[in-house]
Structure 1
């Protein structure tokens, strides 16, 4: 069983998230916390394997919790669950090594898919036996499963940012809008969006609202 610590400043929301987690086989909630300091104390006391972490906490920003956990020697994984759509928050989460980033509001199936994906990665990495470079490469491929198979020249880190920007879009997103959100060029954003389309995780629609060439609008279609 994978022990989960649920961290959210809203008591009702944390109760709902706890109920969601308890519906997923292989996971159990070991505790809840409602502030950053409570989360740090609970991690030391309960040793969870995974923390579901809100970013908007009353005493500190959620990513600062991650920094303090690492400084204290806690190696638990962190999945961000938040309403924060800012590019800086997404980039910061990627830099801090979070295993996933789920936007509120969401349903139980959205969380279930991410927990099951996490469990598969965790299980796969636990079975790794390193004998040579090929074993190392396979282990890294498992750890970055959502961005595995990227075309040459595309990075997993930027792919995650583009994916998160597309997931968080209210409806559709153009390459230019995606580029502005995460701080890359429009051409680069278009390459990542086209990769998501080619892999079946996004679809493209054409908008003819203005004269000239139609605008390509992308929409996330798969978890």
Structure 2
């Protein structure tokens, strides 16, 4: 996944160079192509298969909104950040409706584009390392400070997000559903502790219980995603 492959689509060569210099200062990104309009940009998306396209909106031949619509209609697997002088609601709404990851208005600062790219890099890293996400983890990726309506933390008292993530990661990488005892052993915690977390995950719909009927004795609950 890294470095993240980027193409720049901007008709003003001076602005395009500013974009290039800014991105070169941010670790984890590599510019693999540049274009001066949407037609060229669409061709680069098709040929180079970048992870991220940084596009202007007002461009000759094909503008950014039209280009973005074509990207989505052709289902190219590329994310988009718009950097543009367009500040009208219709354009902003249109770009966001097409699934742009971010929208940055000109003039902009290095800190603003760095924040956007750092957020995108974190987003890619999280999606690359996990098979499933908890709601709180997804909220972090979507830049939401997740709190319940009463102002408290989402997790019940006594449960820890790091431990919860550790357990769900363990279950996700197992080929078959696992028991509470196997979860406890695999994560290095007490069985009663593992069972508390598993009960919570089951109620949240993050794991499913598979009842295993063996030989003599009570059936065993096994957990899978």
TM bucket (normalised to shorter chain) is: 0.5 to 0.7
Aligned partners of 2:147 and 2:39: how far apart in 1?
39
TM-fit CA distance, 1:138: 4.5
Equivalent pair of 2:8/2:54 in contact (CA under 8 Å): yes
What are the ranges of 5 or more consecutive residues in structure 1 without an aligned counterpart?
Answer: 153-223
1:113 match: 115
Q: Number of residues paired by the alignment? A: 147
Deviations 1:162-202 (A, max 9, x none): xxxxxxxxxxxxxxxxxxxxxxxxxxxxxxxxxxxxxxxxx
Q: Call closer, same or farther: CA 1:13–1:125 in 2, change over 3 Å.
A: same
Equivalent pair of 1:125/1:139 in contact (CA under 8 Å): no
Equivalent pair of 1:128/1:139 in contact (CA under 8 Å): no
Alpha-carbon RMSD across the aligned residues, in angstroms, is: 1.8
TM-fit CA distance, 1:141: 2.0
Structure 1 segments (4+ residues) deviating >6 Å: none
Aligned partners of 1:79 and 1:128: how far apart in 2?
24
What are the ranges of 5 or more consecutive residues in structure 2 without an aligned counterpart?
Answer: 150-225
- Determine if the alignment matches structure 1 residue 149 to structure 2 residue 149: no
Counterpart mapping for 1:44-123 below 5 A: 44-123=46-125
1:40 match: 42
* Deviates most, 105-114 or 72-81: 105-114
Q: Scaled by the length of structure 2, what TM-score is found?
A: 0.61
Q: Scaled by the length of structure 1, what TM-score is found?
A: 0.61
1:160 match: none
